[in-house]
Structures are given as C-alpha cells and as structure tokens.
Structure 1
Amino acid sequence: MVPTMLCMVAVPESHSGWTFVTNHARVLAAIADNPNVRIRDIAAHCRLTERAVQRIISDLEQDGYLSHTRDGRSNIYRVEPDKVLRHPAEAGLTVAALLSLLVRDETDHGRSAGPGSRPARSSAAR
C-alpha cells in the first residue's frame, strides 16, 4: 500500500527520451517529502526498481547529501539542505534550492490535487 503522501492523481504515460529531472533528484525529493518513506514506496513513486533506489540512496549518502538512522526495522532519512550541488553549472546552489523547485510548500498543500501535484515538504528539507 502506497502512503497517500506519495500518490498522484494522474501519472503521465511512459515515454522515451530525455527528462528535466534526474532520478537522483526525484529520489531526494521523495525523501524530503517524507523522511520515513520506504524504499518500496520511493520506487513506486519514481517509477524505478527498488534496487535502483537503493543505489541512488547509497550515492547520495556517500557524497553527504543524505544520511539515515535506523528506527527498529525502518530508516529515518535526513536531507542536508545546505550541501552545495555537484555540477559546476550549479555552483553555489544548494540542495534546498533544488528542492524548492521540486517540492511544494505547505501553502500549496491544502489546494486541490491535480496532475503532478506534490505534498508538503518535510522539515528535513528546509
């Protein structure tokens, strides 16, 4: 069962070719939305395999963009909002700046959910 936080009203059909957002950014945004999210739910939301999500989380943790702590059988993730993005073209931009483009804030949360709408971001992404 996918938590309602990650459900979208309408999901675009599969496509081929390029996209504006990388899988790493999608996974990071999903975690910023819900720091307690399960890998299974991230995979379903981002349309990736669980193994791909595990590799992406490992990449993000290895480079200091994300960390986690264990809580029983669950993980609680922490996004590092002040970490600077890697590519030279984004010199000086932080994770928080990226997430501000990908995650709606609380003022948008109460509005009607339409195609592509996203839930409020968590405190870990601020």
Structure 2
Amino acid sequence: MVGVPESHTGWTFITSHARVLAAIADNPNTRIRDIAARCRLTERAVSRIISDLEQAGYLSHTRDGRTNTYRIEPDKVLRHPAEAGLSVASLLSLLVQDETDRIRKPVAQ
C-alpha cells in the first residue's frame, strides 16, 4: 500500500481507535481489510474497534449488498475529560488531510 510507513515499536501519539476513525473518514466505503492494512492492525482488531465506535455512538453503518458504508457523527464530543468540548470533527481535522492538501504535499518517502 502506497504511503504506509514501516511498522513501529514503542508508544505513539495516536490511538488505534483514532486511526480507524480517520481511515473511515478518508473513505466511508473502505473494507475492514484495507483499514487493517493502513492502520497496521489485524482485521479482528479493526472489527472490534468499529464495534466499540458504533456502541459509543461515534459511528454507524449501512449495508448495501456486501459493502458497508460508514457514517461518522462529527458533532459527537470526545470521551476523555481532558478533551471536554472537542468534537470528532476537530479530531479528524488533525488526522485526515483534505484531498487538495494531499495533491499539493506528496507523502515523504
């Protein structure tokens, strides 16, 4: 997959839940397999994270044949008290590049 960094050990700034949410925001019709590859997680872990996000009301999906279309609730407030008042949209603005930004700023290799 183009632009996917090598695996990393140790701590990171972004949680797996945030990575999965950002991958879905980037493509609401993406497959669990593709999310797993992008986020460097197992498909089972991605399924569990999607379930967590749906149960908490951050995400919903509709099924059309074999395809899921995900819908993020952008106004939902983040869970941790330190982020009180911040919405999912504000988080995603940090994690998901606008398509025009992606064209102007190529991924460093």
For the superposition of Structure 1 and Structure 2, which TM-score range results when normalised by the shorter chain? over 0.9
TM-score, normalization: structure 2?
Answer: 0.93
Structure 2 equivalent of residue 119 of structure 1: none
CA distance in 2, matches of 1:30, 1:98: 13
Give the Å deviation of 1:111: 1.4
- 2:62 aligned counterpart, secondary structure: strand
1:8-19 paired onto structure 2 within 5 Å: 8=3, 11=5, 13-19=6-12
How many residues in Structure 1 have an aligned counterpart in Structure 2?
Answer: 109
| Identity over aligned pairs, percent | 77
Structure 1 equivalent of residue 40 of structure 2: 47
User: Of 91, 94, 103, which residue of structure 2 is paired with 1:101?
Assistant: 94
TM-score, normalization: structure 1?
Answer: 0.81
CA distance in 2, matches of 1:76, 1:20: 28
Worse-matched range after superposition: 107-116 or 28-37: 107-116
Q: Which amino acid aligns with 2:42?
A: T
Structure 1 equivalent of residue 27 of structure 2: 34
CA distance in 1, matches of 2:72, 2:8: 29
**Greater RCO structure (CA 8 Å; 6+ sep):** 1
Runs of 5+ in structure 1 lacking a partner?
Answer: 117-126
Give the Å deviation of 1:112: 4.3
Contact 2:7 2:40 in 1 (8 A): no
Q: Which amino acid aligns with 1:29?
A: A
CA distance in 1, matches of 2:105, 2:88: 27
Distance 1:14 1:109, change over 3 A: closer
Structure 2 equivalent of residue 76 of structure 1: 69
Give the Å deviation of 1:63: 0.2
Runs of 5+ in structure 2 lacking a partner?
Answer: none
Q: Which amino acid aligns with 1:113?
A: P
Q: Which amino acid aligns with 1:50?
A: E
